[in-house]
Copies of this chain bind each other. A is one copy, B any other.
Amino acid sequence: MAVTVTLLGRSLVTSRLCGCVSLSKRLYCSSAKRVRVRDALTSLETGSTFRIQGWVRSVRSQKHNLFLHVSDGSSLQPLQVVASSDLNTRDLTFGCAVDITGSLEKSPSNKQNVELQASRIEVVGECNPVDFPFKIKGHHSLEYIRQFPHLRCRTNAFSSLLRIRSQATAAIHSYFRDNNFLQIHTPVITSNDCEGAGELFQVEPAGNEWNSDKENPHFFSVPAYLTVSGQLHLEVMAGAFPAVYTFGPTFRAENSQTRRHLAEFYMVEAEIAFTESLKDLMKIMEGLFKTTTENLLSHCAEDMELFHKYVSPGYMEQVDLMMKRNFNVISYTEAIDILKHSSEQFAFKPEWGCDLQTEHEKYIVQHCGNVPVFVTDYPYELKPFYARDNQDQPQHTAAAVDLLVPGVGELCGGSLREERLELLRTRLAQAGLEDTYAWYLQLREFGSVPHGGFGMGFERYLQCVLGIDNIKDTIPFARFSHSCVL
């Protein structure tokens, strides 16, 4: 016999909600279709029996009825589950894992399109609300949840971040594939101490007393480091392929705990053969930024909105601005002029020949209307040996370019590479590196081509499009000095 009760101004047939354990057990084992919350939310199959599995985000118990919000990580929005209060149990708490069967019905509320009218609710994993560090009504800051790296993915904000990060990763791969770049897995362990030592991690087998064996002190026979850039390895490939890229972890043993630095972070790096102009590189950088961001705005709208509403209110306008406008291009020399003519009091005095500091970079971006700006043609002496000599005078510059963006400062750095054997040999010899980079010189000896490339910090990109202040909130497991949890 069907008993009708009134619930929030609507009728429910209670026999569908309770007392049908044997039916629900059967459904559980066989006919009920398992669906993700995201698919249930947009399903047109109202009236169908579905099974969902996820974690409880809220519990509200009324006299006759029980309301749950259940999330399974497939979307920010949870699924509302309605059940007879008979199905309530003591272990049905915030954070517990549930397995629920019910009928998907049109929701009478305008907060959601559909809701699941549950006939079976099984708690598969309990969650003691006293011990669980997140509370049902708590508004936990990014800083607070950062203390629980093994649990923070269970919060709305961090699960949104992880969905965005996954989508951004896929979008970046798509961008390069659509433009016919080959993906190269550049090595993590390398014997290059690259841009002249400093802040490298070194690796040896654990438990070995380093250098204790004087004859054979290293596992790899030579000192080995964690990569700070895949560029040189990509340049190898630019001697055989038209365009290559890598997207992987990169390391700096920087003893800093700022909002801007991680010891392990992700870099997107690209190298293009037969390129003779910084314009080619800038086109690719701007394309990468805009295509990826466009992809996120259309595929992760809800998750992006969380950040633009609650984490960095009003930031959507900044993103809109970056998407609509062409990126600016100025030379380093122009940038120094702008800084010198500004009334701003800088901690570091801007001077031709000196590196731009973060304060300078941020000022330049503001000066350019908070639209990203490419700064080109840096002083030759500031750039590493591989940067291509512009052979200009009197202000001797190299064909290098940085992309500066709002909030972050430097997002990308790139250059044409010195492909001319004799110029490169001379510069390496001056630095005493001719032997170390004999292999690199050979790339120019055998079928050298004009080429260039750039790198983009992936976490800084996420900071820039989401308005995230602290870089530690953009990566699943943050590593920095004095911290390597898990």
Contact = CB atoms under 8 A, between A and B. Distances in A.
Interface stretch (A137-145, A321-329, A423-431, A473-481): A473-481
Interface in A25-46: 36
B97 A479 contact: no
Instruction: Determine how many copies of this chain the complex contains.
Output: 2
Contact of A253 (B177, B205, B483): B205
Interface string A220-262: 1111111000001100110111100000110101010000000
Contacts of A450: 124
B185 A486 contact: no
A89 to B, nearest CB: 15
A222 B185 contact: no
A39 to B, nearest CB: 9
A169 interface: yes
A189 interface: yes
Contacts of A204: 201-202
Nearest to A165: B185
A190 to B, nearest CB: 7
A446 B151 contact: yes
A149, A204, A249, A476 — which one has the most chain B CB atoms within 10 A of its CB?
Answer: A476
B95 A446 contact: yes
Interface string A160-187: 0011011001100100010010111111
A14 interface: no
B201 A476 contact: no
List the 6 closest A-B pairs by CB distance, nearest first.
A73-B241, A125-B448, A220-B484, A205-B253, A202-B206, A153-B240
Contacts of A274: 53, 99, 124
Interface string A443-486: 11111111000000000000000000000000111010111111
Given A189-B264, A219-B263, 7 more contacts: A54-B242, A72-B273, A99-B274, A162-B237, A166-B183, A203-B226, A220-B263
B201 A233 contact: no
Contacts of A56: 447
